[in-house]
Amino acid sequence: MLDYLIKNGMVFDGSGSEPVKTNVGISGDRVTYSGNEEIPAREAIDAKGLIVTPGFIDTHAHSEFSILADGRAEGKISQGVTTEINGNCGLSAAPLYGEAFEHREADLKELGIKERWSTFKEYFNILRNKGIAINFATLCGHGNIRASVMGYKDIMPDENAMNEMKRLLLEAVEQGAKGISTGLIYPPGVYSTTEELIELCSSIITYHVSPIYASHMRSEGDELIEAIEEVIRIGKKAGVNVHISHIKTAGERNWWKINNAIELVERARNEGVNLTCDRYPYTAASTDLDTILPSWVYDGGVDEELRRLRDPDALKRIKTEIGSKDENYWKGVCISSVAKSENKWMEGESIFDIASKLGKRPEDVLFEILIDEKARVGAIFFSMSEDNLKKFLSLPYTMIGSDSSVRSFSGPTFTGKPHPRAFGTFPRFIAKYVKNEGLMPLSEAIKKMTYLSALTFGLKERGLIKEGFYADITVFDYNKIIDRATFKEPYKKSEGIAYVFVNGKLAVKEGKFTGGLSGRII
C-alpha cells in the first residue's frame, strides 16, 4: 500500500516534455509509482484540474542563518519551493574562523541564534537537530574563506594564505558544499584577483566530479561585459562549470548591453564552457545599502568603514567618487531593513523621500543612516529593464532564483520590509511571465525550476517526477496561482499552491501549512 496517491492530475515531470494525465504514488520518501492504475494508498489526493510537478528548486537563496532561526520556511514552502541552493554571493554558513566568525556575530544575535560553529559539518549537525521544512544545499562562500584566512583587508594572499584557503575550500567540499561562490562587489571578495579565483577553483577539480563556480560578478552595469569575460576566463582556465548569479543589466545607461552580454555567454557555451545563469522575475534588486560606496571604504572591516564615513577628508573623496546622482536615482533606492527601532519608519521609504522629510540632501542622509545603523542596512534598488528581464528569463540555460532568505509570517524572521521575491518569485514567474505573457511553454518553465536546476547543482535523484526519485512534489492550480507580495506589503502569501511534499511528507495540504519539518541537507 502506498502512503499517498496523487490521482487525476496533469503531471509535468520536470524533463521539459509534454504533460501527461496520470497518477503518482509515494512510499516513504520516494516516488514509487507513476501510471494510470489507482493503487491503494493510506491517503488519496484528487488533483483533478491541478498541475503536478517536481518541487521547485530555488537556485539562489541566502538562508544559512534565517533557516537556523526558524526552520518553517513559510515564505518558500508557500511558493512550492522544496529545495534551496544556499551559500551564494561569497557568503555561506561556513567556514567561520577569525574575522569571518566575528563579522557574523551581529547577524546571529539579531536572529536569536545561540549556537556557534566553524565548519559545515558542525553547522549541518545543528541544522539537523533544529529541523527544517525544505531541503538545504549549499555552496562555499569565497568571502568566508578569504575572511577566515586574511580578514577584510585589501591585500593579496601569499603562498601560505593561498594554501590555507585551498585547505578550507577542500574541507568544505568534502563536507558537502557543491562548489564555490563569489561576491565580487562585497568585501573581502572585491579585493581578489582573477588568478586567485582560478587557483581556488582548480584546487577542487580533481576532488569533485563537476564543481560549480557561481558568481555575483564584479559589475552588473557599467563593466558588465568585462565581468562576464572574467567568469568565462575562470571557467576555461579552471575547467569548472560556471554560473552567473542574478544576471542583469543594472542602470538605464547599461540596458543596451543585453545583446552583447547574451552573445558573449552563448559564444562561450558554444566553445564548451558549461555556463548557466539564474534570475528573479522582478526589476528591482536588493542588497546592502553600503554597496553604493567605493570598495576602498570597506578595507579593514566595518569599524574602518564607519571611521572613514566620519572622516571629513575621506567623506569628500567618497562623494567625489560616487558622483552626482539625480533625483530619480535616489527615488529608486528604498530602505528595506534597519536595526534600530527609532529608524523603523524608514523601512519601505526611498532615500529621496527620507531626505525630503528630514530637509537634507540624499547623499548626506545616506551617510548618516549608515553611521547610525553601523552599516547594517538593507536596501532595494530599482534599476532594471522589464524587456531585458524577459530576455534573460527566456534563455534556455537561465534558472529561477529568488535571491532571498527563508522567512515566515511570524517569529524571528518576520521583520523589516524585505523584497517581495522572498514570498512571490515562483508563482509570479508562472502567473505573469508564463500564463499571462506567454514567454515560454509551461513545460519549459517547469524544467527551469526543477530538473535543470538539479542537474546544474548536482542534486541527485531530485528534480523529476520519476520512480525511484525523492518525492519532492508541488501541486498547484494554474488558473489561480499568483503572487500577492508587494514592495510595501511583502509579507503576503502567494495563492494557488495546493499541496507541497518534501521527501514524501506533506508540508502544505489544501493550501495550509502542516508544520512539517521533513527537509534534509543535500
Judgement on whether residues 140 and 262 belong to the same structural domain of the protein: yes
Instruction: Note if the bond before 95 is cis, omega within 30 degrees.
Output: yes
Rounded-to-integer distance, Cα 190 and Cα 172, Å: 21
- The closest alpha carbon to 447, from 7, 19, 9, 8, belongs to 19
513: which residues sit within 8 A by CB, 6+ positions away?
A: 72, 74, 77, 78, 507
227 and 308 part of one domain: no
Residue 208: is its pLDDT beyond 80?
no
Q: Identify whether residues 89 and 237 lie together within a single domain.
A: yes
Stretch 226-233: mean pLDDT, rounded?
98
CA 14 from centroid of its chain's CA atoms? 21
Q: In terms of domains, do 398 and 299 share one? A: no
Taking the CA atoms of residue 287, residue 83, residue 100 and residue 229 in that order, the dihedral angle to the nearest 10 degrees is -60
Q: Last residue of a domain, which of 367, 382, 397?
A: 382
Helices (H), 70-119: 74-77, 98-110
Residue 520 lies in a domain: no
| CATH number, domain containing residue 44 | 2.30.40.10
End-to-end CA gap in the chain: 28
Residue type, position 374, single letter: K
Following CA atoms 333, 425, 403, 245 in sequence, which dihedral angle do they give, to the nearest 10 degrees?
-100
- What is the phi/psi pair of residue 273, to 5°? -80, 125
Residue 519 lies in a domain: no
Residues 90 and 50 in one domain: no
CATH number at 191 reads: 3.20.20.140
Q: Is residue 496 part of a domain?
A: yes
Residues 440 and 371 in one domain: no
Is 47 found in the same domain as 68?
Answer: no
- Per-residue pLDDT tens over the stretch 373-393: 999 999 999 999 999 999 999
Per-residue pLDDT, averaged over 439-452, amounts to 98
pLDDT band at 209 (very low <50, low <70, confident <90, very high): low
28 pLDDT above the threshold of 70: yes
Note down the domain range covering 494.
Answer: 2-54+465-513
Same domain, 343 and 416: no
Q: pLDDT tens digits for 313-345? A: 999 999 999 988 999 999 999 999 999 999 999
Question: Looking up cell 567623506, which residue turns up?
Answer: 315
C-alpha–C-alpha distance, residues 91 and 297, integer Å: 19
Cell 572591516, residue located? 301
Per-residue pLDDT, averaged over 254-261, amounts to: 98
89-111: pLDDT as tens digits: 999 999 999 999 999 999 999 99
| Mean pLDDT (the chain, rounded) | 97
Q: What is the pLDDT of residues 265-294, one digit of tens each?
A: 999 999 999 999 999 999 999 999 999 999
Taking only Cα atoms into account, the Rg of the chain, rounded to an integer number of angstroms, comes to 22
If asked whether residues 373 and 488 sit together in one domain, one would say no
Q: Which of 382, 402, 419 is the last residue of a domain?
A: 382
Q: In what order do the strands lie in the sheet with 135-138?
A: 56-58, 81-86, 135-138
* Phi, psi values for residue 405, rounded to 5°: -95, 165
Pair (447, 479) in one structural domain:
no
Tell me the DSSP string of 312-370. Answer: HHHHHHHHHHH----HHHHHTEEEEE-S-GGGGGGTT-BHHHHHHHHTS-HHHHHHHHH
Task: Please check whether residue 230 lies inside any domain of the structure.
Answer: yes
Other beta carbons within 10 angstroms of residue 327's beta carbon come to 9
Residues whose CB is less than 8 angstroms from the CB of residue 518 and which lie 6 or more positions away in sequence, other chains included: 29, 133, 502, 503, 504, 505, 507
pLDDT digits (tens, 9 = 90+) for 150-172: 999 999 999 999 999 999 999 99
Whose cell is 569533485? That residue is 208
SS3 letters across 160-223? HHHHHHHHHHHHHHHCCCCEEEEECCCCCHHHCCHHHHHHHHHHCCCCCCCCEEEEECCCCCCC
Decide: 5 and 44 in contact? Cβ < 8 Å.
yes
Confidence at residue 211, expressed as pLDDT on a 0 to 100 scale: 87
* pLDDT band of 436, cuts 50, 70, 90: very high
- 518: in domain: no
Q: Please count the structural domains in the chain.
A: 3
Q: Is residue 63 part of a domain?
A: yes
Q: Are residues 364 and 326 in the same domain?
A: yes
pLDDT (average), residues 427-433: 98
Residue 210 has pLDDT above 80, yes or no: no
Q: Examine the fold and report which residue of 382, 410, 445 is the final residue of a domain before the chain moves on.
A: 382
* Greatest C-alpha distance within the chain: 77
Helix, strand, coil proportions of the chain in percent (round to 5)? 40, 20, 40
The Cα 142–Cα 436 span in angstroms is 39
In the predicted model, what is the mean pLDDT of residues 18-26?
98
Percent of the chain at pLDDT exceeding 70 = 100
pTM, two decimal places:
0.96
Please report the pLDDT score of residue 205 as a whole number.
Answer: 86
> Would you say residue 522 lies in a domain?
no
For residues 119 and 232, membership in a common domain is answered with yes
